[in-house]
Homo-oligomer: A and B are copies of this chain.
Amino acid sequence: MRAEIITIGDELLIGQVVDTNSAWMAEQLNANGVELYQITSVHDDKDHIVAALDEAFGRADIVLTTGGLGPTKDDITKLVLCDYFSSHLIEDVHVRAHIERLYRDRPDVLNRLTATQWQVPACAEILPNRVGSAPLMVFRKGDKMLACMPGVPYEMKIAMEEQILPYIQVEIRKTASLKDPRPIIHRTLQVTGIPESSLAILLEDYENSKPEGLHLAYLPKDGIIRLRLSSYGELTEEAMTQWFAQLKALVAGYLIADTDEPLEVMLGRLLKAQGATIATAESCTGGKLAALLNKHSGSSEFYKGSVIAYANEVKQAVLNVDRESLEKYGAVSEQVVAQMASGVKRLLNTDYAIATSGVAGPTGGTPDKPVGTVWIAWATPENIYTECFHLGKLREQVTDRACMKALVRMVKEMKK
């Protein structure tokens, strides 16, 4: 079963909004055994939407659209589809009741524009949008389906999880009666400490010997390379497991993880298993590491807090870094970052701590400590480790990579 996504909205094409929806939807589709063939972003323009629909129906069984379902004039998706399927708008009493309930306490929202939201194409199957006013619509074109969702990420996610994916599962079971569904399998390893090209040379024999239908991809990011094995129905689970084990053995010396689990989740899991806690003291990463550590639910079980010590006086007053070290070695130094780690560990009474201090740039570099220089310290119950990195020239790159370096070493220390 093959799908395509069409994202609708001028904001995507003038760069006002990053399309985060498609990646999330892609992941869900793959997990449900649906191959995503193409993602196309088009303008809020009738001819453009129609052309994209025609092309997508020519290639895929399932077409998903996001966006253009708001009550304002610039949102035209519903009207274009009504026309595309030669239908007309009718009032949907269920949608009306839902919207009236949703905005019960908001008479200001229940206006005549919002009322247009319960007008739906007569030919569409309407699925409930539990958290918003735009109804989800499913259209049929021969044996193909089109599902339309709002572009607001939170609404789209709930729509996919509660309505569209179960609907797609039904579609899959229909075809499954004709032939076995092709399982899509992805397996990922995370490695570090080897250049991408050297890794590829290391894996050359492996790549030459693997079967046609088994794909190996290299995804380098922030100093970590994710190695992904994929099969679109060509391999059995057992064969995949064998090939994956072989790959894992080859890269054992560089391995961080044998899943695609984000490092911050992995670290959280290790801490919870030990009943241990962690804190961070951040200068150059400025809260990014803290935000990563408690991005996921349940972080309060292991994460107690952080001190973001951007200014030197904060490093002294709150983290107890001594003035002499600051003056003699500077804020970006082994001495200071080690004191930051031990300071925050003591202050917040945790088992582990990570500290960062560096020159994120673009300004502030010196010949001695150019932009990209980052000192990191890791405090464990017994020891303090420090390391200096050179992480590039761009502010975002430097801070993202620093967070990854910080997590990789902490995970390694915890696994010891």
Given A289-B287, A290-B308, A318-B347, are A196 and B30 also a contact pair (CB < 8 Å)? no
Give chain B nearest CB distance to A361 CB in angstroms: 7
Stretch at the interface among A12-20, A163-171, A242-250, A381-389: A12-20
> CB-CB < 8 A to A131: which residues of B?
393
The answer to the question of A349 belonging to the interface, with a C-beta cut-off of 8 Å to chain B, is yes
Closest to A38 in B: B42
* Other-chain residue from B19, B37, B197, B260 in contact with A23 (beta carbon distance below 8 A): B19
* Other-chain residue from B14, B199, B363 in contact with A186 (beta carbon distance below 8 A): B14
A260 close to B16 (CB less than 8 A)? yes
B16 close to A219 (CB less than 8 A)? yes
* Other-chain residue from B71, B291, B363 in contact with A288 (beta carbon distance below 8 A): B291
A300 close to B310 (CB less than 8 A)? yes
* Other-chain residue from B280, B314, B347, B364 in contact with A304 (beta carbon distance below 8 A): B314
Give chain B nearest CB distance to A349 CB in angstroms: 7
Q: Which residues of A1-32 are within 8 A (CB) of B?
A: 10-20, 22-30
Convert A373-404 into 0s and 1s, putting 1 for each residue whose CB lies closer than 8 angstroms to a CB of B: 00000000000000000001111110000000
The complex is assembled from copies of this chain, and their number is: 2
Convert A296-336 into 0s and 1s, putting 1 for each residue whose CB lies closer than 8 angstroms to a CB of B: 11111001111111110110011000000000000000000
Main secondary structure of the interface of A (DSSP, over half): mixed
**Chain A: interface residue count, which band?**
35 or more
Given A197-B111, A291-B286, A310-B303, are A14 and B27 also a contact pair (CB < 8 Å)? yes
A200 close to B72 (CB less than 8 A)? yes
Given A70-B218, A74-B216, A294-B287, are A13 and B26 also a contact pair (CB < 8 Å)? yes
A309 close to B305 (CB less than 8 A)? yes
Convert A41-70 into 0s and 1s, putting 1 for each residue whose CB lies closer than 8 angstroms to a CB of B: 111100010001001000000000000001
B18 close to A23 (CB less than 8 A)? yes
The answer to the question of A84 belonging to the interface, with a C-beta cut-off of 8 Å to chain B, is no
* Other-chain residue from B23, B44, B55, B314 in contact with A305 (beta carbon distance below 8 A): B314
* Other-chain residue from B13, B113, B230, B286 in contact with A10 (beta carbon distance below 8 A): B230
B196 close to A11 (CB less than 8 A)? no
> CB-CB < 8 A to A293: which residues of B?
286-287
Convert A220-249 into 0s and 1s, putting 1 for each residue whose CB lies closer than 8 angstroms to a CB of B: 110000101010000000000000000000
Closest to A31 in B: B15
Task: Give the CA-CA distance A237 to B40 in the complex, in Å.
Answer: 32
The answer to the question of A73 belonging to the interface, with a C-beta cut-off of 8 Å to chain B, is yes
The answer to the question of A106 belonging to the interface, with a C-beta cut-off of 8 Å to chain B, is yes
Given A287-B291, A310-B303, are A363 and B16 also a contact pair (CB < 8 Å)? no
Give chain B nearest CB distance to A307 CB in angstroms: 6
Give chain B nearest CB distance to A122 CB in angstroms: 23
Task: Give the CA-CA distance A221 to B154 in the complex, in Å.
Answer: 11
A38 close to B17 (CB less than 8 A)? no
Given A23-B15, A40-B40, are A348 and B260 also a contact pair (CB < 8 Å)? no
Residue ranges of A at the interface with B (Cβ–Cβ < 8 Å): 10-20, 22-30, 36-44, 48, 52, 55, 70-75, 106, 108-109, 111-114, 131, 152, 154, 157, 186, 188, 195-201, 207, 215-221, 226, 228, 230, 260, 280, 286-291, 293-300, 303-311, 313-314, 317-318, 347-349, 360-364, 392-397
Q: List 17 A-B contacts (CB under 8 A).
A: A15-B24, A16-B260, A37-B43, A39-B41, A44-B217, A72-B196, A72-B218, A74-B216, A74-B218, A114-B197, A154-B392, A154-B396, A298-B363, A305-B308, A305-B310, A307-B318, A318-B318
